[in-house]
Amino acid sequence: MLKKILVIHGPNLNLLGQREPAVYGRITLKQINNELIKVAKKKKVNLKIVQSNHEGEIVDLIGKSKAKYSALLINPAAYTHTSVAIRDAIAAANMLTVEVHLSNIYSREEFRQKSLISPVVQGTIMGFGAKSYILGLEALLDLIHK
């Protein structure tokens, strides 16, 4: 059976392409998703990709994901720095999870220089723009096949 990986994009990532291009570049979410799908096809895994601006919706999604998916790739966006609820949902799901960020959060404003999510995931990849997602997916695939 094909493995299924859940990809979650957090708040405002739907605006990529127009949003703060000096920080996030010109690439759109659709282009990032297409790149991810290309890699997934090559590696023979299925992706379910969701973008949400709502914390509770992301919590619900993670809560239901353990039964359906082999692993989680998540950019929690602004919730990275604030959401105990998303952190707890990931810890409770206890599934292989990689956190990604387009930007290097440690080179930005002080309020971004902490991730509540990093302590409950296998690893975090940041600072490589859209490539962070591809590296994150590849890292997850390695973990799944271990």
Report the interface residues with ligand DQA, using CB under 6 A: 12, 75, 77-78, 80, 101-103, 105, 112
Comparing CB distances to ligand DQA, the nearer of 51 and 65 is 51
Q: How far is the CB of 25 from ligand DQA (least distance, A)?
A: 10
Residues 71/96, Cβ–Cβ less than 8 Å: yes
Comparing CB distances to ligand DQA, the nearer of 3 and 112 is 112
Burial of 38 (0-12, 13-18, 19+ CB in 10 A): exposed
Residue count of the chain, please give it: 146
Q: How far is the CB of 1 from ligand DQA (least distance, A)?
A: 32
* Of residues 48, 84, 88, 89, the one with CA closest to residue 69: 48
Comparing CB distances to ligand DQA, the nearer of 37 and 78 is 78
